[in-house]
Amino acid sequence: MPSPERFHGILAPVLTPFRADLAPDAPRLVAHCRRLAAAGVDLAPFGTTGEGNSLSCEEKIELLERLVEAGIGPRRLLPGTGACALPDAVRLTAHAVARGCRGVLLLPPFYYKPVTDDGLFASVAELIERVGRAELRVYLYHIPPVAQVGYSLALVERLVHAYPGVIAGLKDSSGDWSHTLALIERGFDDFRVFSGSETFLLRNLRAGGAGAISATANATPDALVTLYREWRSERADTLQDALERTRAIFQRYPMIAALKAFIAESTHDPEWERVRPPLTPLSAGQRSELFAALREERSRS
């Protein structure tokens, strides 16, 4: 029987707001997480969309503290704790476990290329052993289009067998549905497979997957939750098509900047447009095009 302790459904890889001095803006982050949680999604801070690799360990630890202290339930949190430096990954993971987070999202160490499955296995195994907590739940983060280092099917199987119960699932941001499907069809015991985009959400659920951890959940959480709840209904394909059209609009632009522009517009808070270098915000022209396309899509729905 599937464990309720494992994540399922829709998670938002939460955007990170920044102040004028480029320090993380904890109050805005808390407010955004509250809005998302109220819409029915769980929260995955410090991932790709959250500019996690532009944040220091200290910043991530402080932000996680602020979220929990503000009443964001740690059982709804799946913070990104992967890092190229093993001690950093261990420190972040141990902190997340100590604060009661239901799991961590583990990006592989990605700087050195190529690395072998043996090397990646050793990295994950060393992290698990050093954290040394029975309640640790690791969700692997497979994003080879960006990291260029990923978790192969053989490596996932080896990790699941070596650490049953600890290796709890995987976010597949490969963009390759055949890879996601192969993971689902392996049938690992209570192993949750999430698509990294709502483009594959309906296929994921119909195949027996767990849901999606999607960047656009920052902007359209209600629509994603509706499809998750109604994926067996007659209108599921229509809901899926609408999600894909909206996703395609955001993907015409740098995704993080486009989503931040959307949040700035919808909250009437221009501070949200700020990104940390090397990223840059949308130009005025891009911003106008984005909102014109979104208005057109809304009028179609």
Q: 136, 129, 142, 1: which is closest to 78 by C-alpha?
A: 136
| Active-site residue flag, 253 | no
Instruction: Quote the CA–CA distance of 288 and 206 in Å, as a whole number.
Output: 37
| Exposed / middle / buried, residue 179 (Cβ in 10 Å: 0-12, 13-18, 19+) | middle
The beta-strand segments (E) located in 41-132 are: 42-43, 104-106
> Which residues, including other chains, have CB under 8 Å from residue 264's CB and lie 6 or more apart?
270, 271, 272, 273
- The yes-or-no answer on residue 60 being catalytic is no
Q: Which residue out of 141, 151, 228, 253 is catalytically annotated?
A: 141
**11 touches 226 (CB < 8 A):** no
The CA distance from 43 to 33, in Å, is: 7
Q: Which residue among 16, 49, 171, 216 is the active-site one?
A: 171
112 given a catalytic annotation: no
Of 16, 48, 220, 226, catalytic: 48
Q: What angle do CA 178, 107, 4 make, to 5 degrees?
A: 75
Positions annotated as catalytic residues are 48, 111, 141, 171
